[in-house]
Each structure stands twice: as C-alpha cells, then as structure tokens.
A and B are shown apart, each in its own frame.
Chain A
Amino acid sequence: NAGVMQNPRHLVRRRGQEARLRCSPMKGHSHVYWYRQLPEEGLKFMVYLQKENIIDESGMPKERFSAEFPKEGPSILRIQQVVRGDSAAYFCASSLTRLAGGYEQYFGPGTRLTVT
C-alpha cells in the first residue's frame, strides 16, 4: 500500500516561471492538505481540498497560488510567476475522512522548490 506520493522531489525554477507540484494521496483517501515549510520552521497550512472541491484555502496567498484536486489524477499546487520567497519545502498530506476522530494525516516526502 503506497503512501502519499509527491513529485517532483526537487524542483528548480527561475524567477517568473511557473511551478507545478503534484500529490497523489494514499489509496482510498479523498482529503488532501498542502503545507509549506521554510527552513528551521514548522509547517504552515495552505489549503484543504476534497475531490473537485476546495474546502479551506485560508492559508494560501491570494495571488499566484492555486490548487486543485480533480476527480481523476493527483492534486496540483500551482505557483505562477515564482519569486525567491517561494523557495521552501511543500508537503502534501491526505486523510481518509474529514479528520473527525482519527485526526491522522499521512504526509508525503515533500517537494523542495528552489527559485533562482
């Protein structure tokens, strides 16, 4: 039973380019969460999605960032016109239910984005 998959593991982009980060949740999980982690800091919540729906995007910057979780395929975190401040590790997590009771999120290995 594969865990949460993220790709690419490392991504280098020049300023102004677009970054696409992909997350495949654990089998059977329909809830996906994206977090950003700066060096030496904790994870910061960005967005929570269910299949085809954005449930909570309160942690996501209003501009340049978007996320989707289509009916088929992985969840995508998209960053347009990247700037150096976007350099960070981006983690995806998935859960079986809406985290009522178990509260267990399973995290992927992360994508480390470097903007040059």
Chain B
Amino acid sequence: GESVGLHLPTLSVQEGDNSIINCAYSNSASDYFIWYKQESGKGPQFIIDIRANMDKRQGERVTVLLNKTVKHLSLQIAATQPGDSAVYFCAEIYNFNKFYFGSGTKLNVKP
C-alpha cells in the first residue's frame, strides 16, 4: 500500500529557534496533505493543511511547503516555544477519505 514516512524520528531545538520537520510521501495522486500535532496522552490536533495544487501555505507561526517533484512535505515552526513540544505527523489523503499517516517526529524544545 501507499506509505508516508519521515526523515527524522526526533528533533531537538532551542527555544526561540525555528524548527523544520520533514515528511516524504509516495503517492503522487494524493490530493491533500495535513500536519497534525499530538501531545502525550491526547489525540492528534490539526495544525495546517495544503492542497496538492499549492506549493506553500502559511498559518500563525507555521508554514507548510510542498515539493511535488520529489514528493516532499515540510512543516516550519517559527520561534519554537516549549508548548510546541509534541509528536508531529504528516498525513496524505487521496480518494477524499483515505488518510495515511507517517510514523511521526518528536519535537523537543529546550528552554
């Protein structure tokens, strides 16, 4: 089946620095991508999404970049804060209802 994977299982950054979390996907037919944040003991929380016909989308302190040529997705978090510490998942969606999640990257923010 299709799969979504992540390059880095853990990422440690200093508070105030920018964070970049990467994700590789395999299905070129995927039409939508989402980044989720999951804190310990909680369900995933929607952060930001991007359609396949876009290259970049910005939210509050977060930016998602999509490179369809190399099937790569990234999440950039500006001025990382301790509250950003969590596991981040990317998900690719196709056929409008099939979600495939990556295994996650744990972000540790050092004070």
Roughly how many angstroms separate A116 CA and B74 CA in the complex, as a whole number? 39
The chain A residue with its CB closest to the CB of B33 is A103
Q: Which residues of B does A touch, CB under 8 Å?
A: 4, 32, 34, 41-46, 49, 89, 91, 93, 96-104
Total residue contacts A-B, CB cutoff 8 A: 55
Q: Is the CB of B103 within 8 A of A104?
A: no
State how many angstroms separate the Cβ of B108 from the closest Cβ of chain A. 15
Q: Is the CB of A107 within 8 A of B44?
A: yes
Q: Given A43-B101, A45-B99, A56-B98, is A103 in contact with B43 using a C-beta cutoff of 8 Å?
A: no
Q: Is the CB of A42 within 8 A of B89?
A: yes
Roughly how many angstroms separate A56 CA and B91 CA in the complex, as a whole number? 18
State how many angstroms separate the Cβ of A28 from the closest Cβ of chain B. 17
The chain B residue with its CB closest to the CB of A6 is B43
Q: Mark A18-53, 1 if CB is under 8 A from B, else 0.
A: 000000000000000101000011111100100000
